[in-house]
Copies of this chain bind each other. A is one copy, B any other.
Amino acid sequence: MSTRVVDTSKSPYAKLRPVPVEEVELKNGFWAKRLKKLREVTIPSQYELLENTGRIFNFRRAAGREKGGFQGLVFNDSDVYKWVEAVGFLLASGFDEKLHSVVEKVVNDICAAQDDDGYLNTFFTFENRAQRWTNLRAMHELYCAGHLIQAAIALRRATGDEKLFNAAVRFANHILRVFGPDGRPGTPGHPEIEMAMVELYRETGDHRYLNMAKTLIDNRGKGIVGGDVNLIDHKPFRQLDEIVGHAVRSLYLNCGATDLYMETGEREIWNVLEKLWSNMVKCKMYVTGGVGSRYDGEAFGFNYELPNVQAYAETCAAIANFMWNWRMFLASGEARFVDVMELALYNGVLAGISLNGKEYFYVNPLADRGRHRRQEWFECACCPPNVARLIASLPGYFYSLSEDGIWVNMYDENVARLKFRGEEVSIFQKTDYPWGGRVEITLGLEHESAFSMFLRIPGWSKRVEVSLNGSKIDEKAKPGFYFRIDRIWRNGDTIELYFEMEIRKISCNPLVYENLGRIALGRGPLMYCFEEVDNTGFDVWDLLIPEDATLRAEWVPNLLDGVTVIRGEGYVQDSDWKQDSLYTEIEASSRIRKVSFTAIPYYAWANREPGAMCVWARLMPKTV
């Protein structure tokens, strides 16, 4: 059992290999609470919803076990697969007989729906059977297949399941027959199958799956799915120089291409990925790590097109951003990718699920008037099980390994028992990250051992201190890079990290016209927002923060399951909120008054009574 999210153990062009989910136990900290909620609330409630909305029924129907029509959208199978994948990761973290029996039941339903030839998609049965593979652009068969393969691999790695895995392999082989070397040219309207095929290659060692992934990527830009920009089919992958199109599709494609690169080492692919990544982080990513700013086509906008109220920023796109950066990091070992993962995770992704664990955002605006609320489910319910599988897999990202040593990527209270060079290395992380910037890492070793510890210094940290067994290390730790300590490590060696978590006033590139003259507040990996319920007597959209405002972080245990809020004094220039017309002449003197304000972490917004919210506050300029 070694439930790696992406298993680069044998990938020749990967710098790092992940640590299996089951080797890391998140305990008592920020994410432990979320994982508990996931197990106790989210996963059971999603199971119920998958049943109640006919998503699991569709499999039983396809198997001929139940009567009735296909229910819901054509890609609904994928929601079930993502849920199964989530359960796989959860079972890896902590086996649970009851959960296991539920997932086995679902697996049985899935497998019974498979055709003799390996084909498996509940929409294309009975009356729709003849339509199989006739509309790669819109019908999401390869997308669903990819999710099946990912789920099957996760479940197999977690529990040794062979049943779903065999079904996935049979479907994969069916796909090889249709679109492989002797088949016809194909590529999906919605990427996903690419990374799944590479992972299946990693799981089986069968090169045909790797080649299939390569072919599917190579087939982009040939008009097979219509040649649209939105489907990233307007150009061959290797000619892409701007990140465009449907954000989730674009980023899933990049995941697959990064996976391919880690196996083949093709520089041309890496260069494209680097270009797309730079374009994204420099021109197209929200300060929350959300991406895909445009409603139309759920797409990346133009450079610097980052509206706040009209932000689309689908939860799945933030998840895809996390997934891609994980792969870019495994390929390169560069901390900048983990910075983006962390940013997306704590903000753009986490906002996607309510504190009670059963309501979801699909769209994530950065400013709102109180109308945008999380929903229990969606007709197109891609986001809920996607959040679930990401959170369930979280233990798998905290550490990774190279030949040289152990990499500490993320920080949260945990105990890890890693297999490194054939021995077990225990790591005890004590921290209240993301609320505080102190981390104590103690090693448990059977024998002393020479290796490197690579410690990620978050890009946001200003002052960093690193101590070893109580002595400060003089060498400067550079934010946005890994700090390496080479040493013969002994049992009980303790590294102390201190990342100064001062509140950051963040400005935006002025080319984002909408954010010009505005600031956002951040602290550690968290971005903050101003929500009406915490700020009475004024409208948060009217807030002005002086650039030299003194801001205070305050831990409030009873608020929003415990959060550190930011408090400060600012000004308010009251807008005319009763204004009916679009444009009016301004009053001779508008009222400016002092106010105290409170900001909460962005992920926690819209968990109380509805009201105005914004991330970017106007900067109050100092007069000369």
Within 8 Å of chain B (Cβ to Cβ): is A556?
A: no
Q: Nearest Cβ distance between residue A244 and chain B, in whole angstroms?
A: 13
Q: Nearest chain-B residue to A546 (Cβ)?
A: B623
For residue A576, give the distance in angstroms from its CB to the closest CB of chain B: 7
In the complex, the answer to whether A504 meets B585 with C-beta atoms within 8 Å is yes
Q: Is A52 an interface residue (CB 8 A)?
A: no
Give Cα A430–Cα B145 distance, bound, in whole angstroms. Answer: 76
Give the chain B neighbours of A582 by CB distance below 8 A.
281-283, 285, 287, 508-509, 512
Nearest to A527 among chain B residues (CB) is B583
A505 lies within 8 A of B621 (CB): no
Q: Does A1 contact B (CB under 8 A)?
A: no
A193 within 8 A of B: no
Contact among B508, B575, B589, B621 for A510, CB-based, below 8 A: B575
Asked if B621 contacts A308 (CB within 8 A), the reply is no
Cβ contact within 8 Å between A517 and B517: yes
The answer to whether the Cβ of A399 comes within 8 Å of any Cβ in the partner chain is no
Contact in complex: A508, B583 (CB < 8 Å): yes
Residues of chain B lying within 8 A (CB to CB) of residue A547:
586, 588-590
- Least Cβ–Cβ distance between A108 and chain B, in angstroms: 41
Contact with B along A505-519 (1 / 0, CB 8 A): 111111111101101
Classify chain A: how many residues form its interface, as a range.
35 or more
| Interface status of A253 (Cβ within 8 A of chain B) | no
Are A618 and B516 in contact, CB atoms less than 8 angstroms apart? yes
Whether A226 sits at the interface, judged by CB under 8 Å, is: no
Kindly provide the distance from the CB of A67 to the nearest chain B CB, expressed in whole angstroms.
32
Contact: A367 with B581, CB < 8 Å? no
- Contact across chains for A622 and B589 when beta carbons are under 8 A apart: yes
Q: 1/0 per position for A580-600, CB-CB distance to B under 8 A?
A: 111111101110111000000
Residue of B with least CB distance to A309: B513
Inter-chain contact A586/B307, CB cutoff 8 Å = no
Asked if A272 is at the interface of the complex by the 8 Å CB criterion, the answer is no
Measured in the bound complex, the distance between the Cα atoms of B614 and A580 in whole Å is 25
User: Whose C-beta in chain B lies nearest to the C-beta of A366?
Assistant: B513
Contact of B507 with A584 in the complex, beta carbons under 8 Å? yes
Quote the shortest CB–CB distance from A615 to chain B (angstroms): 11
A571 at the interface (CB under 8 A from B): yes
Contact indicator A581/B544 (Cβ below 8 Å): no
Cβ of A367: which chain B residues have Cβ within 8 Å of it?
513
For A282, A287, A517, which residue has the most chain B Cβ atoms within 10 angstroms? A517
Quick one: given A294-B296, A505-B585, are A307 and B514 in contact (CB under 8 Å)?
A: yes
Compute how far the CA of A583 lies from the CA of B592 in the bound complex, rounded to whole angstroms: 28
Across the interface, do A592 and B508 meet the contact criterion of CB distance under 8 Å? no
Q: Does A81 sit within 8 A of B, measured CB to CB?
A: no
Nearest-CB distance from A83 to chain B (Å)?
32
Asked if B581 and A282 sit within 8 Å, CB to CB, the answer is yes
A573 at the interface (CB under 8 A from B): yes
A614 touching B583 by the CB < 8 A rule? no
Within 8 A of B (CB), among A486-514: 504-514
11 other contacts beyond A301-B310, A510-B539, A548-B589, with CB at 8 A cut-off? Answer: A282-B581, A294-B296, A307-B514, A505-B586, A507-B575, A509-B583, A510-B542, A512-B582, A513-B541, A573-B619, A573-B621
5 contacts between A and B (CB under 8 A): A505-B586, A517-B618, A547-B589, A548-B589, A620-B621
Closest 10 CB pairs of A and B: A510-B575, A296-B296, A514-B514, A507-B586, A309-B513, A505-B586, A517-B618, A504-B585, A509-B582, A573-B621
